[in-house]
């Protein structure tokens, strides 16, 4: 499994080039490290936290920031099985975060408190997928 923790510059630039005024949903698929990998000078570096514990720290520190920008968790689920796709991809956290606009998402990740808290996510995550989705009307059909 390839490690994807933070966006690559080209992917982030493409994200920023899309329409920022539309609402968006972000599908989050996250696999945790067994043991959190904090930078050596971080206060929690020697506490032996699990990836799950470090991610819980990230959630606790960023929940108010998500709320402040008008975001929310639209859906959360537990991984059971991949029916189509790489069977080695097993996700510890799965959720959809909803934002009123891409501006709101960018405001969240630019917030100084978020910038300080993201170290917990980086320490926790073995690999992840963050997929920008455009909400559409539900018609009762697949397409």
This model's pTM is above 0.75: yes
> 52 falls in which pLDDT band (50, 70, 90)?
very high
Residue 119 forms part of a structural domain? yes
Residue 7 forms part of a structural domain? no
Q: Is the pLDDT of residue 51 over 80?
A: yes
Instruction: Indicate if the alpha-carbon torsion angle 4, 5, 9, 14 is positive or negative.
Output: positive
Residue 139 forms part of a structural domain? no
Residue 13 forms part of a structural domain? no
Residue 2 forms part of a structural domain? no
> 143 falls in which pLDDT band (50, 70, 90)?
low
Instruction: Indicate if the alpha-carbon torsion angle 99, 129, 94, 54 is positive or negative.
Output: negative
CA distance 86 to 93: 17
Average pLDDT over the chain, rounded to whole?
95
Q: pLDDT at position 142, please?
A: 73
Judge contact between 14 and 93, C-beta under 8 A: no
Q: Which domain holds residue 28?
A: 21-133
pLDDT digits (tens, 9 = 90+) for 7-18: 999 999 999 999
Q: What is the CATH number of the domain that holds 33?
A: 3.30.70.100
Average pLDDT of the residues in 112-136: 96
Residue 15 forms part of a structural domain? no
As to burial, measured by CB atoms within 10 angstroms (0-12 exposed, 13-18 middle, 19+ buried), residue 52 is: middle
Report the range of poorest mean pLDDT among 5-9, 63-67, 79-83, 103-107.
5-9
- As for how many domains the chain has, the answer is 1
Q: pLDDT at position 1, please?
A: 62
Q: pLDDT at position 16, please?
A: 92
Q: Is the pLDDT of residue 105 over 90?
A: yes
């Amino acid at each position: 499994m390839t490690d994807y923790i933070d966006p690559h510059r080209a992917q982030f630039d493409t994200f920023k080039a899309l329409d920022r005024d539309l609402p968006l949903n972000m599908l989050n698929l996250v696999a945790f490290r067994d043991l959190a990998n904090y930078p050596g000078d971080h206060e929690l570096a020697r506490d032996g936290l699990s990836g799950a514990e470090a991610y819980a720290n990230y959630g606790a520190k960023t929940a108010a920031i998500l709320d402040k920008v008008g975001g929310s968790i639209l859906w959360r689920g537990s991984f059971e099985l991949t029916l189509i796709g790489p069977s080695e991809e097993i996700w510890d956290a799965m959720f959809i975060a909803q934002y009123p606009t891409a501006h709101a998402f960018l405001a969240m990740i630019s917030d100084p408190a978020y910038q300080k808290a993201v170290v917990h996510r980086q320490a926790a995550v073995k690999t992840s997928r963050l997929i920008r989705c455009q909400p559409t009307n539900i018609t009762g059909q697949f397409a």
